[in-house]
Amino acid sequence: MQLTFREEGGDAFAARVAGRLDRRLSHDDPAPVALALSGGGDSLALVLTAARWATARGRPLLALTVDHRLQPESAAWSRFAAEAARAAGADWRGLAWDGPKPAKGLTAAARTARHRLIADAAREAGARVVLTGHTADDIAEADWMRERGATLGRLREWSPSPVWPEGRGLMLMRPLLTERRGELRAWLAANGARWIEDPANSDPRFGRSRARLALAGGGSVAEAGDRARVPAPGPIRWETEGVLALDRDVGGHALAAAVVSLGGGATPPRGERLAALLDRLRAGEAVAATLAGTRIEAPRGDRVRLMREAGELRRRPVAPVRLLPGREAVWDGRYAFLADRPGWRVEAASGRLAALSEIDRARIARLPAAARGACPVLMRDDGTGPVLADSAVARRDLVPERLALALDQTTHEDDLTRARWRNAVERPIFTDMTFRPTARDGASDDRGPL
């Protein structure tokens, strides 16, 4: 794809995108920036402008294209995307959503599969940020769909990956979120570019297409960013590792982020259960409840404690995770483990507490009784275990990382420092951390604060 760009000083659109990237991303960093590239007009405008920025700032750019295997032309579209990315100066990798497709909810399933594939590829490449080509028109279309009952989250310029645990440690950045789709295409045409028009975008069977058709010709476009802001709730504090403390006036978004992070799941609570719990907390009632795998304890008074509900692991057992040397493995969505030799696996402490050593039982007794069985223990094929730790296995607590991203504790790529690995018997490194949720609406991004 041969393009003739206008001089950057006279290209207002490219300059705006570069300015947004400068505000969020690091310069002269060897880690690549990942980019979701479909070959459509929005993502093509993004890869062309982002590649120019990356070249100027000394950053590798990795374009990732997902073939959903849903269109006869999908393989050709991937080839087009590869050519466009490489012509712009970016690296490219093709990904595929293989296997059976659901008869219902295909659009949502495809979106989740796309996020998972991109997150896995981005982490494997060492990227911390994934750029996507969402525009102001996408905000308007999502608003139109929500008014008709859709459960789509609100789009923001900077938000965590919505999939878990694949998206751990990854942020999404949407540098085109204040741009109009028609203006992007005018810019592409002026620069001699061509792009793909997916026929599904005009197929009225899909909600997004119906929204696009309804808004064609100049529907109102909301400003990007957080809307319907409410006062920020009080801080969320670590009482001890795995146990959070918060105030009864906690906001809906912050509570949802806390329970899904501690519960280790991928889907945050929604609807009536979350609203009912918030009402009970704010009314000062005594509460003992489980939501999204997290136990909420609130005796009368201001104190509220959250922890992983060990009983949930008995009702919905978490499969043991076998550790392969040198390969990170995630257990229960809450802990990552890295072993330096074979023969180890991770299981729940539930049912094994009495078999722990006296020292390990003393350590685990520091936790509330309801949370002890939800702790991970190490087992060896040779019969060693259960033990809380071994020098051959490093452990990382993912809950603080996840919660920090969900509660907007990061504003720049430099904030995404990797938590250091530690042996499980060391002093927890997050015990003194306090999260101060920012003022924002209760809606989440792409179905969750993940």
Q: If you average pLDDT over residues 171-192, what whole number do you get?
A: 95
pLDDT tens-digit series, residues 336-389: 999 999 999 999 999 999 999 999 999 999 899 999 999 999 999 998 889 999
pLDDT band (50, 70, 90) for residue 226 = very low
Confidence of residue 138 (pLDDT cuts 50, 70, 90): confident
Q: Which residues pair with 431 in a beta bridge?
A: none
Cα(90)–Cα(84) distance, integer angstroms: 9
| pLDDT confidence of residue 430 | 39
Residue 420 CA to chain centroid, in angstroms? 20
Handedness of CA 83, 85, 89, 95 (dihedral sign): negative
* Nearest C-alpha neighbor of 245 from the set 306, 309, 294: 306
* CA dihedral (337, 324, 130, 59) positive or negative: positive
Q: H-helix or E-strand containing 372?
A: helix 369-372
CA distance 254 to 49: 35
pLDDT of 166 = 96
**CB contact at 8 A, 96 and 61:** no
Classify residue 10 by burial, with Cβ atoms within 10 Å: 0-12, 13-18, 19+. Answer: exposed
